[in-house]
Amino acid sequence: MNRDIERVLLSEQEIAEKVKALGAQISKDYADKTPIIVCVLKGSFIFMADLVRAIDVPCTVDFMSVSSYGAGTTSSGEVKIVKDFDQSVEGRHLIIVEDILDSGRTLSYLMKTLKARGAASIALCTFLDKPERRVVPVEVTYSGFTVPDAFIVGYGLDYDQKYRNLPYVGVLKPSVYEK
Ligand code: PRP
């Protein structure tokens, strides 16, 4: 896998430090609440696992799966809930955990849907933000890193479902997806 990476954008250490800081901030902000930390599969699973361990206030977790991309590198604009919540969100404080905020379509749709279900509050914690690509405005509560509009993989992010298990974030060589 490493051979397909042009350059490392975020090292394991940089990521670990950032996740720790995000967890500390969330712990402070939610000291008197028991939020539901919502993992939006699949890309967020690694960030989610590290983030919840950096949070030291009581919380519960849940998982959603939405699909917006096919095997390609650009958003189709379609958002579909493939796997929904296992519990009611009414009156609960939600923190939606995403690996990357791109066009904003997925998050804008999810936040609207969860608000309509009666959540007490909804915050968004995204590991990466690509503001250059935004089509729909989204309010970000917690953001790890702002990244350029390059094709990046690793730490949960995929290309054609692969590279999610890279422990760092790297820029994919164009030769990989221009085949
Ligand atoms: C990615 C990411 C977000 C979405 C962001 O998911 O995890 O859910 O795209 O893009 P947007 O801001 O343009 O809506 P993807 O559909 O690639 O699925 P995955 O998490 O399973 O990799």
Residue 77 has a pLDDT of 58
Express each pLDDT in 24-52 by its tens digit. 999 999 999 999 999 999 999 999 999 99
Express each pLDDT in 52-106 by its tens digit. 999 999 999 999 998 765 544 455 556 888 899 888 899 999 999 999 999 999 9
Residue 78 has a pLDDT of 66
pLDDT reading at 143 higher than 70: yes
Say if CB 159 and CB 172 are below 8 A apart. Answer: yes
Provide the CB-side half-sphere exposure for 19 (13 A, CA).
23
Give residues (CB < 6 A) around ligand 1: 40-43, 67-69, 75, 98-107, 158
129 is catalytic: no
Between CA 153 and CA 8 the distance in angstroms is 10
Residue 69 has a pLDDT of 55
- Could you tell me the distance, in angstroms and rounded to a whole number, from the CA of residue 100 to the centre of ligand 1? 7
Express each pLDDT in 103-127 by its tens digit. 999 999 899 889 999 999 999 999 9
Q: Which one from 50, 99, 102, 129 is the annotated catalytic residue?
A: 102
User: Which ligand 1 atom lies nearest to the CA of residue 161?
Assistant: 22
* Best mutation site among 69, 162, 169 for ligand 1 pocket (most ligand atoms within 8 Å of CB): 69
Q: For strands 169-172 and 5-10, give the pairing.
A: antiparallel
Which among 111, 104, 117 is positioned nearest to 68, based on CA atoms? 104
- Could you tell me the distance, in angstroms and rounded to a whole number, from the CA of residue 68 to the centre of ligand 1? 6
- Could you tell me the distance, in angstroms and rounded to a whole number, from the CA of residue 85 to the centre of ligand 1? 18
- H helices of 1-57, where? 12-29, 45-53
User: Which ligand 1 atom lies nearest to the CA of residue 106?
Assistant: 14
- Any idea how long the chain is? 179
β-pair partners for 95: 37, 123
Please give the full DSSP string across 87-99, using - where no structure is assigned.
S--TT-EEEEEEE
β-pair partners for 94: 36, 122
Residue 73 has a pLDDT of 47
Say which residues have a Cβ less than 8 Å from residue 149's Cβ, sequence separation at least 6: 130, 132, 133
Residue 160 has a pLDDT of 94
Residue 71 has a pLDDT of 44
β-pair partners for 129: 101, 146
Q: What is the mean pLDDT of residues 127-139?
A: 94
CB-CB neighbours of 159 under 10 Å: 18
